[in-house]
Chains A and B, each alone.
Chain A
Amino acid sequence: MSVFRAVVAELTGMFLSDARLTFGAIAVVALAALAAEIPDPGHLAAGAVLLLGCVGVLVVAIMATARRRR
């Protein structure tokens, strides 16, 4: 059982170590999916939202942790 629990904890940690980052990234992907529905140039808008949104989420997550640990 301890191996099973460790496996579950490991898999959870791989994707949920920072909830802000995980759910922020998922929100950006959802927004990009909506942008992709826009008629031309929908796919380029989706790409821009995805790339810049992910960079933004990453920076926010890093700064939030740095601020919290002051």
Chain B
Amino acid sequence: MIDWTTAAPAVSAAFLASIVEVVEAFTIVLAVGTVRGWRPAILGTAAALATLVVLTLALGPLLERAPIHAMQLVIGVLLLVFGMSWLRKAVLRAAGVIALHDEAAAFVAETAALRQDLAPRSAPKDWIAGLAAYKAVLLEGFEVVFIVIAVGAGRGLLGPAALGAGAACALVLMIGAIAHRPLARVPENTLKFGVGVMLAAFGVFWTGEGLGVDWPGHDLALFAFAALFLLTGLVSVRAARALAPEAAS
């Protein structure tokens, strides 16, 4: 029986992180579909998804068998670094120090690059286009697989986390199929900020457990860590904006 107070943060992190990654992959798949047609786009995407499913099915159960403290420590540290990295970039984008990710601009750039790559060549054009879709979905999917395995393995939450990721994928593809253009209005940076906070909190929690820390309040400590990282992020946005006003303007 799944304890949903424990599962909810894991499922939410997997769901929200997957929305961000699927939106980015969708932009490139849409570019391939627009320039070369939907057959190579769909085939490339399907091949990448199959690769990712095999990876998750292979790695997930393997980690379940690893010694619990060692696994908590290694995955905790990886999650900590990954989450703090996302949070750092989200803070810098919110402060205007680095540019926001623009899906519309990415679509234009990708379409132009594809048209250039598909200029007269000996290799079949569909293969090149399909490979572009495969690469995009595979690379964005790696982050999703990592998050699903990191928040799910070792706590029997692999299934719920994978379902969260799958639901996000289905939602984005459904909206994308209806809109038929880059999903530029998704609040990507806000989502990355939130996911960064959650993953950094998970990372601290699991690393601590791996080191033998008995967190006061047990699983409830996760919420306290998330609140601290959220506060740190919000204060850092203001401080970074004040520090780099020329970059922010």
Where the two chains meet, the residues of A that have a C-beta atom closer than 8 Å to any C-beta of B are 2-3, 6-7, 10-11, 14-15, 17-18, 21-22, 25-26, 29, 32-33, 36, 43-44, 46-47, 50-51, 54-55, 57-59, 61-63, 65-67, 69-70
A55 and B229 in contact, given A6-B139, A70-B243 (Cβ under 8 angstroms): yes
Where the two chains meet, the residues of B that have a C-beta atom closer than 8 Å to any C-beta of A are 77-78, 80-82, 84-85, 87-89, 91-92, 95, 97-98, 131, 134-135, 138-139, 142-143, 146, 200, 203-204, 207-208, 211-216, 225, 228-229, 232, 236, 239-240, 243-244, 246-247
Question: Which secondary structure characterizes the binding site on chain B?
Answer: helix
Q: Contact check: which of B131, B204, B243 meets A50 at CB < 8 Å?
A: B204
| Distance in angstroms between the alpha carbons of A17 and B98 in the assembled complex | 14
A25 and B244 in contact, given A51-B204, A62-B236 (Cβ under 8 angstroms): no
Smallest CB gap from A17: residue in B: B85
Chain A residues with CB below 8 A from B146, complex form = 14
Q: Contact check: which of A10, A22, A55, A69 meets B244 at CB < 8 Å?
A: A69
A54 and B204 in contact, given A3-B131, A62-B236 (Cβ under 8 angstroms): yes
| Distance in angstroms between the alpha carbons of A18 and B88 in the assembled complex | 9
| Distance in angstroms between the alpha carbons of A14 and B146 in the assembled complex | 10
| Distance in angstroms between the alpha carbons of A70 and B135 in the assembled complex | 35
A43 and B214 in contact, given A51-B228, A66-B95 (Cβ under 8 angstroms): yes
Question: Which secondary structure characterizes the binding site on chain A?
Answer: helix
Q: Contact check: which of A10, A36, A43 meets B142 at CB < 8 Å?
A: A10
Chain A residues with CB below 8 A from B211, complex form = 29, 32-33, 36, 43, 46, 50
- Is B142 a contact of A15 with CB atoms below 8 Å? no
B168 to chain A, nearest CB (A): 18
Chain B residues with CB below 8 A from A7, complex form = 138-139, 142
| Distance in angstroms between the alpha carbons of A7 and B139 in the assembled complex | 6
| Distance in angstroms between the alpha carbons of A59 and B207 in the assembled complex | 19
- Is A62 a contact of B208 with CB atoms below 8 Å? no
Q: 23 A–B contact pairs at CB < 8 A?
A: A2-B135, A3-B135, A6-B135, A7-B138, A14-B85, A15-B81, A15-B82, A18-B85, A21-B81, A21-B88, A26-B77, A44-B216, A46-B208, A50-B204, A50-B211, A51-B204, A51-B225, A55-B228, A58-B229, A62-B88, A66-B239, A66-B244, A69-B98
